[in-house]
Amino acid sequence: KSKSQQKGHFLFFNDTINTQVQRDLLLESELHLAIANNELDVLYQPQINAATGLIYGVEALVRWYNPKLGHVSPVEFIQVAEDVGIINDIGNFVIKKSLQDILQFNNCSNTQLHLSINISPKQLMEPDFVSNVINLTHEMAVDNRLVTLEITENVLINDLAKVQPVLQSIRDSGMKLSLDDFGTGYSSLSYLSNLPIDEIKIDRSFIDKLLTNDQSESLVKTIIAIGQFCDLTVIAEGVETKEQYDHLRHYRCDLVQGYYFDRPLSLTALMASYQTSRISHEA
């Protein structure tokens, strides 16, 4: 390589870094305004009872569209929101909006959908988190037993002595707890029997390789067996094919969720698919 090419490469690399830094800064400043500017939305991905094929509930998934940045993935902006200390504003927005929406769905439907909400570690450990959620469900007259909070295993390795009472107060309220992305973190089996967990959610990466990798298949079977043994609901995420669904049903996985059934849907689309079909089903 000539010197000029190397230099050119170096400059290009530098520009890339600058652009990344600029994007991060823009993202951070725009995120502060996202709620006020009405840029956040919540979509709902159906969770299907594997034994009956009927909808059991939905997972709320936040979306952010910003005119300057376009669509930004929650994987990216939730982390930023945690870092800059605005995760509670965003979390509260998602909780309020999804409770409202589920109420609207359930009020004009025979089916009572359950609602799963992702809770980030910082949000969970905020001093008033649980009482705020309970106040909201109470004000809105949403049955706590319909609400599941999804947390990740990473929460548990942090500060178990602090996490334990928070989880217990969630359990005491009637809400359920799900361990999201199960199998990817550091959770030990003892957590499953010692902590008030109701559900484990097998990570998408294992479902991906379910039919192509023997080890993944054994793992999925084992997780389902452990779930049954510990009296936990087992849900599989990222189910994309009929074959995966058939296998999971065969292993007696309780719930399934993924593109094979539905992408995350707007409330309107959810109602169109699951309220009308239900009514015509029963007519």
Between CA 266 and CA 32, with CA 142 as vertex, the angle to 5 degrees is 55
Using CB under 6 A as the binding rule, whether residue 180 contacts ligand C2E is answered as: yes
Taking residues 235 to 274 in sequence order and writing x for each that binds ligand C2E by CB under 6 A, - otherwise, the string is --xxxx-----------------xx----x----------
| Closer CB to ligand C2E, 21 or 84, in the complex | 84
Q: Is 262 in the site for Mg ion (CB under 5 A)?
A: no
Angle between the 242-250 and 214-229 helix axes, to the nearest 10 degrees? 40
Cα separation, 146 vs 176, whole angstroms: 8
Name the binder of 183 from ligand C2E, Mg ion, none, CB < 5-8 A by kind: none
Measured distance CA(113)–CA(89) in Å, rounded: 25
| Phi, psi dihedral angles at 41 (to 5 degrees) | -145, 165
Q: How far is the CB of 69 from ligand C2E (least distance, A)?
A: 15
Q: Is 150 in the site for Mg ion (CB under 5 A)?
A: yes
Please name every residue paired with 132 in a beta bridge, in sequence order, or none if there are none.
Answer: none
Closest CA to 148 of 85, 239, 56: 56
Say which entry of ligand C2E, Mg ion, none residue 240 contacts (CB below 5 to 8 A, set by partner kind): ligand C2E
| 118 binds ligand C2E, rule: CB under 6 A | yes
Query: CA-based angle 236:239:240, to the nearest 5?
Result: 175
Angstrom distance (rounded) from CA 213 to CA 218: 9
> Which helix (H) or strand (E) covers residue 245, if one does?
helix 242-250
Which one of Mg ion, ligand C2E, none is in contact with 101 (Cβ closer than 5 to 8 A by kind)?
A: none
Contact in structure between 62 and 92 (CB atoms under 8 Å): no
Tell me whether strands 40-49 and 55-66 are parallel, antiparallel or unpaired: antiparallel
* Complex with Mg ion: residue 30 or 175, whichever CB lies closer: 175
Q: Which does 192 bind (CB under 5 to 8 A by kind): Mg ion, ligand C2E, none?
A: none
Q: Which of 28, 39, 41, 74 binds ligand C2E (CB under 6 A)?
A: 74
Q: Is 178 in the site for ligand C2E (CB under 6 A)?
A: no
What does 74 bind: ligand C2E, Mg ion, none (CB cut-off 5 to 8 Å by kind)? ligand C2E
Nearer to ligand C2E, 81 or 103 (CB): 81
Q: In whole angstroms, how far apart are CA 54 and each of 51, 112, 184, 277? A: 8, 12, 28, 11
Indicate the residue type of 77: F
Report the residue from 34, 48, 61, 113 that binds ligand C2E according to the rule CB under 6 A. 61
Task: List the single partner that 73 binds among Mg ion, ligand C2E, none, CB under 5 to 8 Å by kind.
Answer: ligand C2E
Q: Which residues bind ligand C2E (CB under 6 A)?
A: 45, 60-62, 73-75, 78, 94, 118-120, 150, 180-181, 204, 237-240, 258-259, 264
